[in-house]
Structure 1
Amino acid sequence: MFHHLLVTRFNLRNPEWDVTKNNEKLLTDDWMEERMWFFENFCFTGIAAQTNQNFEWLLYFDITTPEKYQKRMSDLIANHPNFKVFYIDGMPQFYDELKKHITNLPDKKPFIITSRIDNDDAVHKDFINEIQLEFKQQDYLVLDIIKGYSLQIRPTVMLGKKEHIFNPFMSLIEKNDDPKTIWFYHHNMWKKETRIKQLTHKRLWIAVIHEKNKVNNFNGYDNVKWEKLKTDFILSDEANELIKKELLPHHKWLKLSWKNKIIVKYKVISKSFKKFFGVYKFK
């Protein structure tokens, strides 16, 4: 009845993004090595452990990716036939290449679901299944999973709850007739779409924060115990050990937690009101 594609842009050259939030150069060997570490320990493990494997994961790398990383990716996905790696000529080719892949899908189905995930973030083991449970043969519907967690790895390990409307974990259900895909807009621009549904019943993602992020900062809140999450969010042994060993106790960042909670709740309420009153509109 549907194809489900999970799509990740990895290291595509982008003229609009050439430095990190710390003003460090992107796409260097150091950047790539660290990003691969996050991918292997936080992102890949969770997708490989999905309870529902009825999806394809499309990973888009730049054609300039060094051979050692191409081999590393090839070895990593070797036992996952539904994981596919593509090497393309920078960000300008990304959307057309994604559309081309959809056009060439065998056994064309009447509907398509596209979901997105960044290469350094993590998702619940039921992430794919929860998205597919929302499928009711809708002609067009955006799914916004607004509840998750924020996990800072460096310089200090901190973990807290987070809500984020119009976030980087969105999906789009649509008819498979020249589909737009969830990548048609930047995730924040989906706020202008009226055909959207918020999913709030379960925390399904972890935004991983580190120095090489472009804009994200840690804004988690409340006292969250990793031991209670690790059976649902499948990370590597190395990542689990790191969190267990270095997680900062909540009482040591209590004031920041209160501040973050106020800010996060305010942003959710503010965006919800603007959405309700039609402030966000497509021109």
Structure 2
Amino acid sequence: MFDHYLITRFNLRNPKWDVTKNNESLLTDDWMEDRMWLFENFCFPSVTAQENQNFEWLLFFDITTNQKFKERITTLTNNYPNIKTFFIDGMPVFYDEIQKYIGTNSKEKTHLITSRIDNDDSISKYFIDEVQKQFSSQEYQAIDIINGYTLQVKPNFILGKKEHIFNPFISLIEKNTNPKTVWFSDHNMWKKETRITQITNKRLWLSIIHEKNKVNEFDGYGNIKWEELNNEFILSNQINQQLTNKLTPFREWWFLSLKNFLYVKMVLFSKVIKRKLGIYKIK
């Protein structure tokens, strides 16, 4: 009936993006080492722990990736038959490579589901299953899970709730006839799409905020205990232990929480109103 692909770009060269938010060079060995640490401790364990394993995870790396990282990636993914790794010639060919693989491997399926996750973020172990529960043979329907959590990991651990409409965890259900896939548009461009279902009753993602984020800053809020989440968001044993023992107490950041709460709600309300008023150019 359908194939489901979770798709991640990793270290693809992009001519429009060459520095971090701290003006440090991207795609150096130091950058890759830091990104691999995030991937191994946050993203990878959360995806491989999915209760519903009826999906393939497509990981796209650059052909210039250092051999030592290629070997590390191979060792990490080798025992997971539903993980496929690709080494390609930068961002300009990324979309074509997705189309090529899906076109070759999903010819017999009437529908596709494609989802995205960044290589430094995490998802609930129910994420894949909840996306697939939205499937009802739609011709074209985006799935936007608005509610999640956010975790700052450097310089200290802070955990909070977050709402983010048109976020980087968006999925697309579509007929397998010249499919576009979820990577046809950048995630924030889905605000222009009318055929979209917004899921608001569950928190199914965990965005990770660290020093080398290109754009994001920590904007979580609320008094959240890691012990309430760690059975659903599966991270490495090392990080799980550190979060259990070293998470910043709410009393030390309650004022930031209040400011973040007001900011997150304001941004969400603003986007919803703009959409209803037709300010966004709808497709």
Contact 2:61 2:87 in 1 (8 A): yes
TM-score, length-scaled by structure 2: 0.98
Deviations 1:27-51 (A, max 9, x none): 1111100100110110000111100
Q: Secondary structure at the match of 1:235?
A: coil
Structure 2 matches for 1:115-264, cutoff 5 A?
Answer: 115-264=115-264
Give the Cα separation in 2 of the matches to 1:107 and 1:91. 25
Q: Secondary structure at the match of 1:207?
A: strand
Q: Secondary structure at the match of 2:105?
A: coil
Structure 1, 32-41 or 240-249: larger mean CA deviation: 240-249
RMSD: 0.9
Amino acid at match of 2:272: S
Give the Cα separation in 1 of the matches to 2:212 and 2:169. 19
Amino acid at match of 1:264: V
Residue 272 of structure 1 aligns with which residue? 272
1:245 Cα deviation from its structure 2 partner: 2.5
Q: Secondary structure at the match of 2:40?
A: helix
Residue 82 of structure 1 aligns with which residue? 82
Contact 2:21 2:214 in 1 (8 A): yes
Structure 2 matches for 1:15-54, cutoff 5 A?
Answer: 15-54=15-54
Structure 2 matches for 1:50-65, cutoff 5 A?
Answer: 50-65=50-65
Deviations 1:155-204 (A, max 9, x none): 12100000000000000000001111110111000100000010011100
Give the Cα separation in 1 of the matches to 2:25 and 2:276. 40
Give the Cα separation in 2 of the matches to 1:77 and 1:159. 28
Q: Secondary structure at the match of 1:73?
A: helix
Amino acid at match of 1:131: V
1:108 Cα deviation from its structure 2 partner: 2.0
Q: Secondary structure at the match of 1:248?
A: coil
1:282 Cα deviation from its structure 2 partner: 4.4
Residue 9 of structure 1 aligns with which residue? 9
Give the Cα separation in 1 of the matches to 2:131 and 2:6. 11
Give the Cα separation in 1 of the matches to 2:91 and 2:234. 30
The gaps in structure 2 that reach 5 residues or longer are: none
Give the Cα separation in 2 of the matches to 1:107 and 1:179. 11
Q: Secondary structure at the match of 2:253?
A: helix
Amino acid at match of 1:13: R
Structure 1, 89-98 or 100-109: larger mean CA deviation: 100-109
Residue 101 of structure 1 aligns with which residue? 101
Give the Cα separation in 2 of the matches to 1:267 and 1:146. 12
Give the Cα separation in 2 of the matches to 1:17 and 1:157. 27
The gaps in structure 1 that reach 5 residues or longer are: none
Contact 2:150 2:219 in 1 (8 A): yes
Residue 71 of structure 1 aligns with which residue? 71
| Amino-acid identity (%) | 61
Amino acid at match of 2:252: K
1:79 Cα deviation from its structure 2 partner: 1.2
